[in-house]
Structure 1
Amino acid sequence: MAMSKVQLDIVTPERIVYSDMVDMVITRAVLGDVGILPKHAPFVTPLRESVVVRVKKDGREDHYTVKSGFLEVRPDKITILAESADVPETDRD
C-alpha cells in the first residue's frame, strides 16, 4: 500500500524556497515540535527560528533553516511562510 503525500510549500517574501510533495514534515512551533503527516487536522501556528525537516518516501531527509514565520496545515497542504529560509546543499543549483 502506497503512503499518501502532502504538498509542502516553503515561502519567503523574496521567493518560493521549496514546493513539492513530501511524506512528512517536522518543525518547531512556538509551543514545541510538530510532526505532520498527510491528512492532518487543520491548524495555524507561529514558528520559532528552527529547522524544517522534509521526509521523502525513500527515507531521505532534507533540512531547511527558517527564521520565524507561520505554519499553516491543511489535510492536503502544508505552507510555511518564513522571514527567510536557507536551502540545504542538496537543493542548491
Structure 2
Amino acid sequence: MADTSLQVELVAADRVVWSGQADEVVARTVEGDLGVLVGHAPLLSVLVPGVVKIKAGTETVVAVVEDGFLSVADDRVSILSEDTSLVSELDREQVQAELEQARSADDTDAVLRAEAKLRGIELA
C-alpha cells in the first residue's frame, strides 16, 4: 500500500459496503466528529448514528451508519456498524416516511437514525 493513502473498509453486519483506498475519512463518534488522514495515531472509537464521508481522490463516498466502531491502525481504517448504507442506496421519500413514523411513535432512536439518513442525502 502506498504511504499516501488509507486502506478503508466500511462494513455492515451482512456485507462489505465499500472498500478501497482513500485520502481522508470523517465519521461521528461519541467524542464528536473525527477526521482520519494518513499517519493517524491508532485508535478505537464508538460510532453514533451519523454520516461517514470517505474522500478518495476526486470522489467522495457518503454513507450513513448506525451505532458501531471505528478502528484506525497502520493507515487502515475499519468502520463497523450493524446497519450501513451508501447514500446512493437511499430513497428520500422512504426516509422521510420513516422519520414521520418514528416521530408519531415517539421512538427517539428511530428519529435519530432517520435524521442521519436525511443529512447524508443532503450532503450527497
TM-score normalised by length of structure 2:
0.66
Higher strand proportion, which one? 1
Quote the sequence identity (%): 32
The offset of 1:85, in angstroms, is 0.6
Pairing of 1:13-92 with structure 2 (within 5 A) = 13-58=13-58, 60-89=59-88
Gap runs ≥5 in structure 1: none
Count of residue pairs the alignment pairs up:
88
* Greater RCO, 1 or 2 (C-alpha within 8 Å, sep 6+): 1
Pairwise CA RMSD of aligned residues?
A: 1.8
- Moved runs in structure 1, 4+ residues, more than 6 A? none
Higher helix proportion, which one? 2
Once the two structures are superposed, what CA deviation does each residue of 1:6-57 show, in whole Å capped at 9, x if it has no partner?
Answer: 0110111101111100000001110101000012100001000010001122
The offset of 1:74, in angstroms, is 1.0
Q: Give SS of 1:89's match.
A: helix
The offset of 1:76, in angstroms, is 1.8
